[in-house]
Amino acid sequence: MDHPTFVQHAVLLSLVLFGLGTLGVFLRRNVITVLMSIELMLNGANLAFVAFSRAAGTLDGQVLVFFVMVVAAAEAAVGLAIVIALHRHKDTLDVDAFGVMKG
Partner 1 sequence: MDAFLFYAAAALAVLSALVVIGQRNPIYSAFALIVTLCSLSVIFGLLGSPFIAALQVIVYAGAIMVLFLFVLMLLNVKREEDAPGRGGRALAGIATALVTLLVAQAGAVLMRAEPGPAPAFDASTRRMAEILFSPHFLYVFEATSILILAALVGSVALAKKDL
Instruction: Tell me the closest approach of the beta carbon of residue 71 to partner 1, in angstroms.
Output: 7
Instruction: Tell me the closest approach of the beta carbon of residue 102 to partner 1, in angstroms.
Output: 13
Instruction: Tell me the closest approach of the beta carbon of residue 40 to partner 1, in angstroms.
Output: 6
Closer residue to partner 1 in complex, CB, 61/100: 61
Contact positions vs partner 1 (CB under 8 A): 1-4, 6-10, 13, 15-30, 32-33, 35-37, 39-40, 43, 46-47, 50-51, 53-55, 57-60, 62-63, 65-67, 69-78, 80-85, 87-88, 93, 96
64-90 b/e with 16+ CB inside 10 Å = b? bbeeeeeebeeeeeebeeebeeeeeee
Closer residue to partner 1 in complex, CB, 1/101: 1
